[in-house]
Amino acid sequence: GAVSVEEVVGLGEASRVFLSTKGVWAGADGRVGGVFGIARDITARKEAEGAMARANAVLEDARARAEAASRAKSDFLARMSHE
């Protein structure tokens, strides 16, 4: 079977992320005929995933603060209605 791994390759000041798939090619008789390797540059995808994770963290923080404010408002209104 083939094996896929993410590999970070330094290119001077920058680095790129590649998804590399490597495996053995076998003929119909099961004998090894060779090996193969394919690499795709997934740097942009990894950067987009990182940006999405950061945005999700900001949204989660905002949601938590909004819920806390809503609870504080509800508590305040409940106290005011009893006075």
17 contacts 43 by C-beta, under 8 angstroms? yes
pLDDT value of position 82: 77
pTM: 0.63
pLDDT value of position 12: 84
Selected residue with higher pLDDT from 24 and 11: 24
pLDDT value of position 81: 86
22 contacts 6 by C-beta, under 8 angstroms? no
Could you report the per-residue pLDDT of 17-45, keeping only the tens digit for each?
Answer: 999 999 999 999 989 999 999 999 999 99
| Percentage of residues of the chain with pLDDT beyond 90 | 84
42 contacts 57 by C-beta, under 8 angstroms? no
Mean pLDDT, all residues of the chain: 94
Phi, psi of 58 (to 5 degrees): -65, -45
pLDDT value of position 6: 96
